[in-house]
Amino acid sequence: MFGKKSQPPIKSLIAQGTRIEGNMKFNEGLRVDGEVFGDIQSSADDAGSMLVISEQAVVQGAISADHVIINGTVRGPVHARELLELQPKARIEGDVSYVSLEMHQGATISGQLRPLVQGAAEGEEKPLLKLAAKSA
């Protein structure tokens, strides 16, 4: 509806109290409520992937997916091939690359922001930057 693609279902969960050590690959959707010490990335052939890092979650490593939603702590680079949503309690220590960015008041980034141009030649349309309104 309104030109938005439907989101992939969250099929995997790393629950609060769980600690994963090592790199991970996932299909479709992944929600992290626990701790991950390693890289997290969606499968290369998985178009439309979604990664959710919840408020309690801590990820120490690189993350990469199409749609990334962060409300926890990430220590490492973040690569969002489509949309990066930073919720109010998001804390990122690392460089961030994105096509479209939505950042709520309170989110922090300690690193460089690198907008990606998807499917456009140099000098054409720039990536969309959405400013989130302060919620009451």
Per cent of the chain over pLDDT 90 is 70
- Who has greater pLDDT, 34 or 4? 34
CB contact set of 35 (below 8 Å; sequence gap of 6+): 18, 19, 20, 57, 58, 59, 60
Token match 């991950």: residue? 36
What pLDDT band is residue 121 in, cutting at 50, 70 and 90? very low
Backbone angles phi, psi at 49, to 5 degrees: -70, 155
Backbone angles phi, psi at 73, to 5 degrees: -110, 130
pLDDT tens column, 52-107: 999 999 999 999 999 999 999 999 999 999 999 999 999 999 999 999 999 999 99
